Amino acid sequence: MNSLTWILAVLFVTPAASYFIHVDANEEQCFFDRLTSGTKMGLMFEVAEGGFLDIDVKITGPDNKEIYKGERESSGKFTFAAHMDGVYTYCFGNKMSTMTPKAVMFTVEITEPHQQAPGAAANQDAADNAKLEEMVRELSSALMSVKHEQEYMEVRERVHRNINENTNSRVVMWAAFEAFVLVGMTVGQIFYLKRFFEVRTMV
Amino acid sequence: MKTIIALGFLSLVVAQDPPGTAPTAAEILAENINGQTVHEFRGYYKREHSLIKPYTGSGADIPNWNIIGSTFVSSNQIRLTADEQSKAGALWNTQPVWSRDWELQVSFKVTGSTGDLFGDGMAIWYTSEPNILGPVFGGKDYFRGLAVFLDTYSNHNGPHQHGHPFISAMVSDGSLHYDHDKDGTHTQLGGENTGCTAKFRNKDHDTQVLIRYVGDTLSIFSDIENKGIWNLCMSVNNVQLPTGYYIGVSAATGDLSDAHDVVSLKMFEQEFAHVERVGEADRRNVVPHAQFTASPRDHTDDARPSSLGWGGTIALVIVGVIVLVGGLGFGFVYFQKKNERQRKRFY
């Protein structure tokens, strides 16, 4: 029986968070968020370690209907709007592997529906405050985006560094093997030629 | 007699001429686009009204756009509805369009796994109230502005007699109802025969449509076969649209379903020299109006498939009951006499 692990990932008060999980072979890990109608949810994930760096992704709504289902994906970025209040579940499945665990880094970003202030601004100070608040919110959103991008690049840098170091180690071993074969052939040739110049005297 | 014949001929000649015989400059410009390549950029690219891959920028939100309903944004496409029943999704711009003359190039894709039963279609909006889901292909009925319908399902076989998928348009000032049962031909821009059939469903490539509003003339072009050239679908002049409305795309499914995807949206502002009359400089208060629309027709329900009516149905039921009772009675009598005959033999 496949083990199903439910972990409360993101509380309502935390709009965005990053997580690094390990999904064992034949395992599926699910996380959920409670969303209200109209809220936008963004999910970004990247497979960092394991096998062919692929994972199965599934996003389910509160009515147990599939919002998205993807198989053997290495990375993805999805955005959707919550169509009803309830629990939205997203699962990472590693059922295609029999031995290899996978490491997945994912980020969940929840955007509340934009609360428009009712009515126009009463005076210039209120208008300036509203404009300032809007600009601060945009700056905060941009900084959060930069942070997510940096985490994403960090994971990619680690993956690419692993690939490059693996390639480099293989190249080094191959070079050592070539050197060994070269020295062996040289010594062999010397002894082989030496046999031709051995003179046996007949008495 | 000769005078009567001459008058008849004159009225015939007069009746043949549509109002405004000389083509306007905007119409000539629009006709020149027919056959042109789709990669030619005309005018100024408006980034805040456009949407191209990978849509989300660096974060999870889409800048300048708002998704509602069942819309799902991934890296390659924006899926307004999946291939499921009773879905509605929309994508609305958050910035009003203040350009007087503009072009909107929409790249979309409609796919489905069912062969012959699919629906309902998509709509492209330029309307005053964004972010509202409704019954008109996922958009609001009694809207105020312009709507371009990409209708994949034919609800009515009758007066309009055109094949589906069909591209048509509608201009409303908030008082017009889109009649789904008549495929919107009651309120169609340019008349019920304006528009074109475009077989854009289940293509392996992205299909495109160009909506051009320049010089109070609305023109729609399409590139369905991936040849890279525009084909003129329809062109209607004397269409009054204000500035300050919102661009949106919506789609809906009902009992029949399709996957409706938006691949890209590009908005270009066009330059056109207008003859400004007094009071026409400010376009934001213009009431959406079109001089050439379908003539008003009342909504009549389709004829019922059965012509018996209630009386005929009741009579049919009574006859059926009589036949049933007669059969049962005959069977009963037959088996009773059979039993009697068996008893006689035994005796």
* Residues of A with Cβ-Cβ distance to B61 under 8 angstroms: 40, 42, 79, 109, 111, 141
Chain A CB within 8 Å of residue B71 CB:
yes
Q: What is the pLDDT of residue B17?
A: 39
Identify all chain B residues contacting A146, using CB atoms and an 8 Å cutoff: 58
Which pLDDT score is estimated for B90? Answer: 92
| Per-residue pLDDT at A176 exceeds 90 | yes
Query: What's the whole-number mean pLDDT along residues B49-55?
Result: 82
A80 versus A148: the higher-pLDDT residue is A80
Q: What is the pLDDT of residues A98-137, one digit of tens each?
A: 888 888 878 887 876 654 444 445 566 777 777 777 678 6
Contact A79 B62 (CB under 8 A): yes
Q: Chain B interface, mutation test: which of A77, A112, A114, most B Cβ atoms within 10 Å?
A: A77
Report yes or no: B51 at the A interface, CB cutoff 8 Å.
no
pLDDT attached to residue A116: 42
Condensed to tens digits (0 to 9), the pLDDT of residues A79-107 reads 888 877 898 888 999 878 888 888 887 88
Compute the average pLDDT of residues B217-234: 86
Question: What are the sequence ranges of the domains in chain A?
Answer: 14-111
**B15-35: pLDDT as tens digits:** 433 555 567 777 777 777 778
Tens-place pLDDT, residues B285-316: 778 877 677 766 566 655 545 555 667 778 88
Task: For residue B7, give every residue at least 6 positions away whose Cβ sits within 8 Å of its Cβ, in sequence order, or none.
Answer: none
Nearest partner of A114 among A132, A129, A134, judged by Cα: A134
pLDDT surpasses 70 at A41 = yes
pLDDT in tens, A55-64: 888 888 887 7
Q: In this predicted structure, what is the pLDDT of residue A10?
A: 38
Q: Which residues of A touch B76 (CB under 8 A)?
A: none
**Per-residue pLDDT, B14:** 41
The per-residue pLDDT for B248 is 94
Residue B321 pLDDT greater than 80, yes or no: yes
**What structural domains and CATH numbers belong to chain B?**
25-290 (2.60.120.200)
What kind of architecture, by CATH, is found in domain A14-111? Sandwich (2.60)
- DSSP characters for chain A? ---EEEEE---TT--EEEEEEEE-TT-EEEEEEEE-TT-EEEEEEEEEESTTS-EEEEEE-TTS-EEEEEEEESEEEEEEE--SSEEEEEEEE-TT-SS--EEEEEEEEEEPPP-PPSS--SSHHHHHHHHHHHHHHHHHHHHHHHHHHHHHHHHHHHHHHHHHHHHHHHHHHHHHHHHHHHHHHHHHHHHHHHHHT------
| Minimal CA separation from B59 to chain A, in Å | 5
Average pLDDT across chain B, whole number:
78
Picking from A10, A74, A80 by the largest number of B CB atoms within 10 A of its own CB, the best residue to mutate is A80
The alpha carbon of residue A78 is apart from the nearest alpha carbon of chain B, in Å, by 5
Distances in whole angstroms, Cα of residue B24 to Cα of each of B21, B30, B31, B104, B287: 9, 10, 11, 21, 22
**Yes or no, beta carbons of B59 and A109 under 8 Å apart:** yes
Q: Which residues of B touch A38 (CB under 8 A)?
A: 68
- What is the band of B161 on the pLDDT scale with cuts at 50, 70, 90? low
Whether a cis peptide bond, with omega within 30° of 0, leads into B255 is no
Q: Tell me, what's the pLDDT at A137?
A: 67
Confidence label for B147 from pLDDT (cuts 50, 70 and 90): very high
Q: Could you read off the pLDDT of B265-289 as tens digits, one per residue?
A: 888 988 787 776 666 667 777 788 7
Which of B53-57, B182-186, B291-295, B315-319 shows the lowest per-residue confidence on average (mean pLDDT)?
Answer: B291-295
Task: Decide if pLDDT at A148 tops 60.
Answer: yes
The beta-carbon neighbor of A78 closest among B58, B69, B73 is B73
In this predicted structure, the answer to whether residue B263 has a pLDDT above a threshold of 60 is: yes
Of the candidate ranges A115-124, B30-39, B134-143, B315-324, the one whose mean pLDDT is the lowest: A115-124
Shortest Cα distance, chain A CAs vs residue B241, angstroms: 26
CB contact under 8 A, B58 and A149: yes
SS3 B332: helix
B-chain residues within 8 Å CB-CB of A79? Answer: 55-56, 60-62, 67, 72-73
Closest residue on chain A to B67 (Cα):
A81
For residue B54, the chain A residue with the least C-alpha distance is A77
